[in-house]
Amino acid sequence: MRFRQHTKLSPVYPSGRCSVIIRVTSQGKRIELYTGITLKPSQWNDNKERVKQGCNVDGLMYNILNDKLEKMEKFIDDYFNGSALRSTPTTLNDLRERFKHRFTSTQAEQSDEFFFLFKQFRTETANTKGWSKSRAEMMERLENKVRTFKPDIKFSDLSTATMDAFKEELAKTMYNDALDKHLSYFKQFVTWAQKKKYEIHEEYFLYNPVLPKAKKAVRYLELSELNTIYNLDLSSKEGLERARDIFIFQCYTALRESDVRQLKHENIYLNADGHYMIDLLTEKDDDRIRFRLPQRAVSIYLKYKDKVYENDLVFPVISQQKYNEHLKQLGKEADLQGDWIDYEYRLNEKITIKTPKHKLSSHTARRTFIVTAMNEGVSLDIIAIITSHADISAMKPYIRANTRGTDKVIEAIDKTTSKKTTKKGTKKTTKKDK
Protein backbone atom coordinates (compact mmCIF):
# COMPACT_ATOMS: atom_id res chain seq x y z
CA MET A 1 0.00 0.00 0.00
CA ARG A 2 1.35 3.42 -0.95
CA PHE A 3 1.92 5.86 1.90
CA ARG A 4 3.89 8.96 2.88
CA GLN A 5 5.25 10.00 6.23
CA HIS A 6 6.59 13.37 7.29
CA THR A 7 8.08 14.19 10.71
CA LYS A 8 7.35 17.77 11.71
CA LEU A 9 6.41 20.11 14.51
CA SER A 10 2.89 20.96 15.60
CA PRO A 11 1.92 24.64 15.80
CA VAL A 12 3.36 26.36 18.85
CA TYR A 13 1.50 25.77 22.11
CA PRO A 14 0.84 28.67 24.53
CA SER A 15 3.84 27.35 26.52
CA GLY A 16 6.14 28.22 23.59
CA ARG A 17 6.87 24.55 22.85
CA CYS A 18 5.75 22.20 20.08
CA SER A 19 5.01 18.50 19.79
CA VAL A 20 7.02 16.42 17.34
CA ILE A 21 4.48 14.58 15.21
CA ILE A 22 4.67 12.11 12.35
CA ARG A 23 2.08 12.78 9.66
CA VAL A 24 1.11 9.66 7.72
CA THR A 25 -0.93 9.90 4.51
CA SER A 26 -2.48 6.94 2.71
CA GLN A 27 -5.34 6.66 0.17
CA GLY A 28 -6.27 10.32 0.54
CA LYS A 29 -6.54 10.17 4.34
CA ARG A 30 -4.08 11.16 7.00
CA ILE A 31 -3.33 10.89 10.68
CA GLU A 32 -0.84 12.63 12.91
CA LEU A 33 0.97 10.44 15.40
CA TYR A 34 2.27 12.14 18.52
CA THR A 35 5.76 10.99 19.43
CA GLY A 36 5.71 12.23 23.03
CA ILE A 37 8.62 14.60 22.28
CA THR A 38 8.06 18.29 22.95
CA LEU A 39 10.64 21.01 22.41
CA LYS A 40 11.21 24.61 21.40
CA PRO A 41 11.01 25.43 17.66
CA SER A 42 14.64 26.60 17.83
CA GLN A 43 15.70 23.04 18.76
CA TRP A 44 14.30 21.51 15.55
CA ASN A 45 15.90 21.11 12.13
CA ASP A 46 13.00 21.20 9.71
CA ASN A 47 15.03 20.16 6.68
CA LYS A 48 16.47 17.05 8.32
CA GLU A 49 13.25 16.39 10.31
CA ARG A 50 15.35 15.83 13.40
CA VAL A 51 16.31 17.46 16.69
CA LYS A 52 19.20 19.83 16.08
CA GLN A 53 22.67 18.50 16.76
CA GLY A 54 23.97 19.41 20.19
CA CYS A 55 20.53 20.17 21.70
CA ASN A 56 19.56 18.90 25.14
CA VAL A 57 15.80 18.54 25.54
CA ASP A 58 14.59 18.03 29.10
CA GLY A 59 17.80 16.18 30.01
CA LEU A 60 17.89 14.02 26.87
CA MET A 61 20.53 14.57 24.22
CA TYR A 62 19.56 15.06 20.59
CA ASN A 63 20.98 11.70 19.45
CA ILE A 64 18.77 9.74 21.87
CA LEU A 65 15.66 11.58 20.68
CA ASN A 66 16.58 11.20 17.01
CA ASP A 67 17.16 7.50 17.52
CA LYS A 68 13.65 7.27 18.97
CA LEU A 69 12.23 9.05 15.92
CA GLU A 70 14.08 6.69 13.57
CA LYS A 71 12.59 3.66 15.34
CA MET A 72 9.10 5.17 15.05
CA GLU A 73 9.51 5.90 11.33
CA LYS A 74 10.85 2.37 10.71
CA PHE A 75 7.87 0.95 12.58
CA ILE A 76 5.53 2.80 10.18
CA ASP A 77 7.52 1.60 7.15
CA ASP A 78 7.37 -1.97 8.37
CA TYR A 79 3.64 -1.69 9.04
CA PHE A 80 2.81 -0.84 5.44
CA ASN A 81 5.52 -2.94 3.78
CA GLY A 82 4.51 -6.00 5.77
CA SER A 83 0.78 -5.58 5.22
CA ALA A 84 0.63 -8.49 2.79
CA LEU A 85 1.79 -10.82 5.57
CA ARG A 86 -1.01 -9.82 7.97
CA SER A 87 -4.51 -11.17 8.09
CA THR A 88 -5.97 -7.86 9.33
CA PRO A 89 -6.56 -5.01 6.83
CA THR A 90 -4.15 -2.08 6.74
CA THR A 91 -5.85 1.11 7.97
CA LEU A 92 -4.65 4.32 9.50
CA ASN A 93 -6.73 3.69 12.62
CA ASP A 94 -5.10 0.30 13.03
CA LEU A 95 -1.67 1.88 12.56
CA ARG A 96 -2.50 4.47 15.22
CA GLU A 97 -3.44 1.81 17.77
CA ARG A 98 -0.37 -0.32 17.01
CA PHE A 99 1.86 2.74 17.18
CA LYS A 100 0.53 3.72 20.58
CA HIS A 101 0.85 0.15 21.85
CA ARG A 102 4.46 -0.06 20.65
CA PHE A 103 5.57 3.37 21.79
CA THR A 104 3.75 3.67 25.09
CA SER A 105 2.54 7.26 25.34
CA THR A 106 0.84 8.87 28.25
CA GLN A 107 -2.88 9.54 28.33
CA ALA A 108 -2.18 13.27 28.02
CA GLU A 109 -0.14 12.67 24.88
CA GLN A 110 -2.86 10.47 23.41
CA SER A 111 -5.40 13.26 23.78
CA ASP A 112 -3.09 15.98 22.47
CA GLU A 113 -4.10 15.49 18.85
CA PHE A 114 -7.87 15.59 19.37
CA PHE A 115 -7.98 18.59 21.69
CA PHE A 116 -5.30 20.51 19.86
CA LEU A 117 -7.38 20.14 16.71
CA PHE A 118 -10.48 21.23 18.63
CA LYS A 119 -8.73 24.47 19.60
CA GLN A 120 -7.54 24.91 16.03
CA PHE A 121 -11.11 24.41 14.79
CA ARG A 122 -12.45 27.00 17.25
CA THR A 123 -9.87 29.58 16.28
CA GLU A 124 -10.07 29.00 12.53
CA THR A 125 -13.85 28.82 12.30
CA ALA A 126 -14.45 31.74 14.66
CA ASN A 127 -12.32 33.93 12.38
CA THR A 128 -13.80 32.77 9.07
CA LYS A 129 -17.44 32.71 10.17
CA GLY A 130 -17.38 35.61 12.59
CA TRP A 131 -18.64 33.84 15.69
CA SER A 132 -20.32 35.94 18.34
CA LYS A 133 -18.76 36.06 21.79
CA SER A 134 -21.51 33.81 23.19
CA ARG A 135 -21.00 31.25 20.41
CA ALA A 136 -17.24 31.19 21.02
CA GLU A 137 -17.80 30.72 24.76
CA MET A 138 -20.25 27.88 24.14
CA MET A 139 -17.74 26.08 21.90
CA GLU A 140 -15.10 26.41 24.60
CA ARG A 141 -17.52 24.93 27.16
CA LEU A 142 -18.24 22.08 24.76
CA GLU A 143 -14.54 21.28 24.46
CA ASN A 144 -14.26 21.19 28.25
CA LYS A 145 -17.27 18.86 28.49
CA VAL A 146 -15.68 16.47 25.99
CA ARG A 147 -12.41 16.57 27.94
CA THR A 148 -14.25 15.80 31.20
CA PHE A 149 -16.19 12.97 29.55
CA LYS A 150 -13.20 11.25 27.96
CA PRO A 151 -9.81 12.93 28.42
CA ASP A 152 -8.05 10.46 26.07
CA ILE A 153 -10.68 10.62 23.31
CA LYS A 154 -9.69 9.99 19.68
CA PHE A 155 -11.59 10.25 16.41
CA SER A 156 -11.50 6.48 16.20
CA ASP A 157 -13.48 6.34 19.47
CA LEU A 158 -16.57 8.06 18.05
CA SER A 159 -18.76 4.99 17.81
CA THR A 160 -22.50 4.94 18.43
CA ALA A 161 -21.87 3.59 21.93
CA THR A 162 -19.43 6.41 22.74
CA MET A 163 -21.80 9.08 21.43
CA ASP A 164 -24.71 7.60 23.41
CA ALA A 165 -22.58 7.72 26.54
CA PHE A 166 -21.62 11.34 25.77
CA LYS A 167 -25.29 12.21 25.27
CA GLU A 168 -26.13 10.68 28.65
CA GLU A 169 -23.32 12.65 30.26
CA LEU A 170 -24.55 15.94 28.78
CA ALA A 171 -28.11 15.18 29.90
CA LYS A 172 -26.97 15.26 33.53
CA THR A 173 -26.59 19.05 33.36
CA MET A 174 -28.78 20.23 30.48
CA TYR A 175 -32.16 19.83 28.81
CA ASN A 176 -32.69 18.53 25.29
CA ASP A 177 -32.60 21.91 23.53
CA ALA A 178 -29.12 22.66 24.83
CA LEU A 179 -28.05 19.03 24.49
CA ASP A 180 -29.05 18.92 20.83
CA LYS A 181 -27.17 22.17 20.18
CA HIS A 182 -24.01 20.79 21.80
CA LEU A 183 -24.19 17.61 19.70
CA SER A 184 -24.73 19.72 16.59
CA TYR A 185 -21.69 21.88 17.33
CA PHE A 186 -19.62 18.78 18.07
CA LYS A 187 -20.62 17.41 14.66
CA GLN A 188 -19.41 20.62 13.03
CA PHE A 189 -15.99 20.00 14.54
CA VAL A 190 -15.87 16.35 13.47
CA THR A 191 -17.00 17.27 9.93
CA TRP A 192 -14.24 19.88 9.82
CA ALA A 193 -11.69 17.25 10.87
CA GLN A 194 -12.98 14.81 8.23
CA LYS A 195 -12.49 17.45 5.52
CA LYS A 196 -8.90 17.70 6.67
CA LYS A 197 -8.55 13.98 5.97
CA TYR A 198 -8.64 12.74 9.56
CA GLU A 199 -10.13 9.26 9.78
CA ILE A 200 -13.38 9.19 11.78
CA HIS A 201 -15.06 6.11 13.22
CA GLU A 202 -17.32 4.66 10.51
CA GLU A 203 -20.37 4.74 12.82
CA TYR A 204 -20.19 8.42 13.69
CA PHE A 205 -22.02 9.96 10.75
CA LEU A 206 -24.80 7.38 11.12
CA TYR A 207 -25.46 8.62 14.65
CA ASN A 208 -28.58 10.79 14.68
CA PRO A 209 -30.47 10.72 18.01
CA VAL A 210 -34.05 12.01 18.04
CA LEU A 211 -34.61 14.16 21.12
CA PRO A 212 -38.14 15.34 21.99
CA LYS A 213 -38.44 19.08 22.58
CA ALA A 214 -41.16 21.13 24.23
CA LYS A 215 -42.59 24.28 22.67
CA LYS A 216 -41.43 27.14 24.85
CA ALA A 217 -43.83 29.59 26.41
CA VAL A 218 -43.12 33.27 25.81
CA ARG A 219 -42.18 35.11 28.99
CA TYR A 220 -43.68 38.59 28.77
CA LEU A 221 -45.33 41.21 30.97
CA GLU A 222 -48.91 42.39 30.87
CA LEU A 223 -49.38 46.12 30.31
CA SER A 224 -50.56 46.54 33.90
CA GLU A 225 -47.31 44.98 35.16
CA LEU A 226 -45.28 47.16 32.81
CA ASN A 227 -47.08 50.24 34.11
CA THR A 228 -46.25 49.25 37.68
CA ILE A 229 -42.55 49.07 36.84
CA TYR A 230 -42.67 52.35 34.89
CA ASN A 231 -44.28 54.21 37.81
CA LEU A 232 -41.92 52.92 40.53
CA ASP A 233 -40.25 55.66 42.55
CA LEU A 234 -36.58 54.69 42.39
CA SER A 235 -35.09 58.15 42.87
CA SER A 236 -33.10 56.92 45.89
CA LYS A 237 -31.74 53.89 44.01
CA GLU A 238 -29.75 55.31 41.10
CA GLY A 239 -28.40 52.03 39.71
CA LEU A 240 -31.80 50.37 39.85
CA GLU A 241 -33.46 53.41 38.29
CA ARG A 242 -31.08 53.35 35.32
CA ALA A 243 -31.69 49.64 34.80
CA ARG A 244 -35.46 50.26 34.97
CA ASP A 245 -35.25 53.04 32.38
CA ILE A 246 -33.24 50.91 29.96
CA PHE A 247 -35.66 48.01 30.46
CA ILE A 248 -38.69 50.22 29.76
CA PHE A 249 -36.96 51.61 26.67
CA GLN A 250 -36.44 48.03 25.49
CA CYS A 251 -40.08 47.16 26.15
CA TYR A 252 -41.25 49.97 23.87
CA THR A 253 -38.65 49.55 21.10
CA ALA A 254 -37.94 45.77 21.09
CA LEU A 255 -34.22 46.52 20.98
CA ARG A 256 -31.88 43.79 22.14
CA GLU A 257 -29.67 44.61 25.09
CA SER A 258 -26.62 44.63 22.79
CA ASP A 259 -28.28 47.30 20.61
CA VAL A 260 -29.29 49.48 23.55
CA ARG A 261 -25.73 49.21 24.81
CA GLN A 262 -24.37 50.73 21.56
CA LEU A 263 -27.18 53.27 21.03
CA LYS A 264 -25.81 56.77 20.38
CA HIS A 265 -27.50 60.15 20.15
CA GLU A 266 -26.85 60.16 16.40
CA ASN A 267 -29.21 57.14 16.12
CA ILE A 268 -32.17 59.20 17.39
CA TYR A 269 -33.41 62.33 15.64
CA LEU A 270 -36.47 64.53 15.08
CA ASN A 271 -38.15 64.19 11.66
CA ALA A 272 -39.98 66.91 9.75
CA ASP A 273 -43.25 66.04 11.53
CA GLY A 274 -41.70 66.54 14.94
CA HIS A 275 -41.52 62.83 15.80
CA TYR A 276 -38.49 61.18 17.34
CA MET A 277 -37.11 58.46 15.04
CA ILE A 278 -34.60 55.70 15.64
CA ASP A 279 -32.17 54.61 12.90
CA LEU A 280 -29.79 51.83 13.90
CA LEU A 281 -27.74 48.99 12.45
CA THR A 282 -28.31 46.01 14.75
CA GLU A 283 -25.27 44.30 16.20
CA LYS A 284 -26.47 40.68 15.90
CA ASP A 285 -27.44 40.56 12.24
CA ASP A 286 -26.36 43.92 10.76
CA ASP A 287 -30.00 44.67 9.94
CA ARG A 288 -30.97 48.32 9.64
CA ILE A 289 -34.05 49.31 11.63
CA ARG A 290 -35.82 52.64 11.35
CA PHE A 291 -39.10 53.56 13.03
CA ARG A 292 -40.85 56.20 15.11
CA LEU A 293 -40.28 55.98 18.87
CA PRO A 294 -43.38 55.35 21.05
CA GLN A 295 -44.13 58.12 23.54
CA ARG A 296 -42.85 56.27 26.59
CA ALA A 297 -39.58 55.50 24.83
CA VAL A 298 -39.34 59.20 24.00
CA SER A 299 -39.89 60.15 27.65
CA ILE A 300 -37.04 57.84 28.67
CA TYR A 301 -34.79 59.24 25.94
CA LEU A 302 -35.47 62.87 26.94
CA LYS A 303 -34.57 61.98 30.53
CA TYR A 304 -31.03 61.11 29.36
CA LYS A 305 -30.77 63.42 26.33
CA ASP A 306 -28.64 66.07 27.98
CA LYS A 307 -26.45 63.72 30.00
CA VAL A 308 -22.93 63.02 28.76
CA TYR A 309 -21.60 59.49 28.59
CA GLU A 310 -18.51 58.04 26.93
CA ASN A 311 -18.62 57.69 23.11
CA ASP A 312 -21.81 59.79 22.94
CA LEU A 313 -23.89 56.87 24.25
CA VAL A 314 -27.52 57.53 25.17
CA PHE A 315 -27.43 55.35 28.28
CA PRO A 316 -24.70 54.69 30.84
CA VAL A 317 -22.84 51.42 30.42
CA ILE A 318 -24.04 48.65 32.75
CA SER A 319 -22.43 45.22 32.58
CA GLN A 320 -24.72 42.44 31.39
CA GLN A 321 -24.38 40.62 34.69
CA LYS A 322 -25.19 43.73 36.74
CA TYR A 323 -28.10 44.62 34.43
CA ASN A 324 -29.76 41.24 34.93
CA GLU A 325 -29.16 41.44 38.68
CA HIS A 326 -30.91 44.82 38.73
CA LEU A 327 -33.84 43.47 36.71
CA LYS A 328 -34.48 40.69 39.19
CA GLN A 329 -34.42 43.22 42.00
CA LEU A 330 -36.75 45.39 39.91
CA GLY A 331 -39.23 42.52 39.66
CA LYS A 332 -39.27 42.24 43.43
CA GLU A 333 -39.72 46.02 43.84
CA ALA A 334 -42.73 45.84 41.51
CA ASP A 335 -44.06 42.85 43.48
CA LEU A 336 -44.71 40.83 40.33
CA GLN A 337 -46.87 37.82 41.22
CA GLY A 338 -47.27 34.39 39.67
CA ASP A 339 -45.01 32.08 37.69
CA TRP A 340 -44.06 31.47 34.11
CA ILE A 341 -44.71 27.82 33.31
CA ASP A 342 -42.35 26.03 30.94
CA TYR A 343 -41.86 22.43 29.93
CA GLU A 344 -38.52 20.85 29.16
CA TYR A 345 -37.32 17.41 28.21
CA ARG A 346 -34.30 15.67 29.67
CA LEU A 347 -33.87 12.83 27.17
CA ASN A 348 -37.38 11.29 27.21
CA GLU A 349 -38.49 12.71 30.56
CA LYS A 350 -40.87 15.69 30.46
CA ILE A 351 -40.23 18.20 33.24
CA THR A 352 -42.40 21.12 34.42
CA ILE A 353 -40.46 24.27 35.30
CA LYS A 354 -41.89 27.19 37.24
CA THR A 355 -40.05 30.50 37.14
CA PRO A 356 -41.29 33.35 39.38
CA LYS A 357 -42.33 36.37 37.31
CA HIS A 358 -40.16 38.69 39.33
CA LYS A 359 -37.07 37.04 37.80
CA LEU A 360 -36.95 39.42 34.87
CA SER A 361 -34.29 39.37 32.17
CA SER A 362 -33.43 41.61 29.25
CA HIS A 363 -35.18 39.10 26.95
CA THR A 364 -38.46 39.75 28.78
CA ALA A 365 -38.52 43.31 27.40
CA ARG A 366 -38.28 42.34 23.73
CA ARG A 367 -40.91 39.64 24.18
CA THR A 368 -43.24 42.07 25.94
CA PHE A 369 -43.05 44.43 22.96
CA ILE A 370 -43.87 41.69 20.45
CA VAL A 371 -46.84 40.25 22.37
CA THR A 372 -48.21 43.73 23.11
CA ALA A 373 -47.97 44.71 19.43
CA MET A 374 -49.73 41.52 18.35
CA ASN A 375 -52.48 42.01 20.91
CA GLU A 376 -53.04 45.47 19.45
CA GLY A 377 -53.50 43.99 15.99
CA VAL A 378 -50.14 44.92 14.44
CA SER A 379 -49.33 42.56 11.56
CA LEU A 380 -46.54 40.00 11.83
CA ASP A 381 -44.77 41.54 8.83
CA ILE A 382 -44.48 44.92 10.54
CA ILE A 383 -43.40 43.39 13.85
CA ALA A 384 -40.76 41.32 12.06
CA ILE A 385 -39.36 44.48 10.43
CA ILE A 386 -39.19 46.40 13.71
CA THR A 387 -37.65 43.48 15.62
CA SER A 388 -35.35 42.43 12.73
CA HIS A 389 -36.71 38.89 12.58
CA ALA A 390 -35.57 37.53 9.22
CA ASP A 391 -37.92 34.55 9.35
CA ILE A 392 -41.64 34.88 10.09
CA SER A 393 -41.61 31.31 11.41
CA ALA A 394 -39.63 32.63 14.37
CA MET A 395 -42.81 34.48 15.39
CA LYS A 396 -44.82 31.29 16.00
CA PRO A 397 -44.27 31.25 19.79
CA TYR A 398 -45.68 34.78 19.92
CA ILE A 399 -48.73 33.79 17.91
CA ARG A 400 -49.52 31.27 20.66
CA ALA A 401 -49.13 34.07 23.22
CA ASN A 402 -51.53 36.43 21.37
CA THR A 403 -54.24 36.59 24.02
CA ARG A 404 -56.29 39.22 22.19
CA GLY A 405 -56.48 36.99 19.12
CA THR A 406 -57.49 33.90 21.09
CA ASP A 407 -60.05 35.92 23.06
CA LYS A 408 -61.70 36.95 19.79
CA VAL A 409 -61.94 33.31 18.72
CA ILE A 410 -63.49 32.31 22.04
CA GLU A 411 -65.93 35.22 21.87
CA ALA A 412 -66.97 34.12 18.38
CA ILE A 413 -67.48 30.54 19.56
CA ASP A 414 -69.49 31.68 22.57
CA LYS A 415 -71.63 33.93 20.36
CA THR A 416 -72.35 31.09 17.93
CA THR A 417 -73.13 28.69 20.76
CA SER A 418 -75.45 31.22 22.31
CA LYS A 419 -77.37 31.61 19.03
CA LYS A 420 -77.80 27.86 18.66
CA THR A 421 -79.00 27.48 22.24
CA THR A 422 -81.56 30.26 21.82
CA LYS A 423 -82.87 28.84 18.56
CA LYS A 424 -83.19 25.34 19.96
CA GLY A 425 -84.73 26.34 23.27
CA THR A 426 -87.38 28.77 21.88
CA LYS A 427 -90.81 27.26 21.12
CA LYS A 428 -92.50 28.67 18.06
CA THR A 429 -96.10 29.81 18.84
CA THR A 430 -98.98 28.76 16.62
CA LYS A 431 -102.51 29.89 16.15
CA LYS A 432 -103.62 26.82 18.08
CA ASP A 433 -101.57 27.85 21.08
CA LYS A 434 -103.20 31.21 21.04
- To the nearest whole percent, how much of the chain has pLDDT over 90? 43
pLDDT for residue 108? 45
- Concatenated DSSP letters for 337-384? -SEEEEEEEETTEEEEEEEETT---HHHHHHHHHHHHHHTT--HHHHH
In the structure, what pLDDT confidence band is assigned to residue 70 with cuts at 50, 70 and 90? very high
Cβ pair 33, 99 in contact under 8 A: yes
- The sign of the dihedral angle between the CA atoms of 362, 378, 286, 270 is negative
Whether the pLDDT of residue 330 is over 90: the answer is yes
Instruction: Return d(Cα 146, Cα 156) in angstroms, integer.
Output: 15
More confident residue, 216 or 125: 125
**pLDDT, average across residues 401-415:** 50
The confidence score (pLDDT) of residue 129 equals 85
b/e for 250-266, b at 16 or more Cβ within 10 A? bbbbbbbbebbbbbeee
Q: Which of 400, 304, 288, 388 is nearest to 343 (CA)?
A: 400
pLDDT at 203 over 60: yes
Run of H or E residues at 134: helix 133-149
Q: What is the CATH superfamily name and number for domain 212-428?
A: Intergrase catalytic core (1.10.443.10)
Residue whose C-alpha is closest to residue 251's, from 355, 365, 137 = 365
Specify the pTM. 0.56
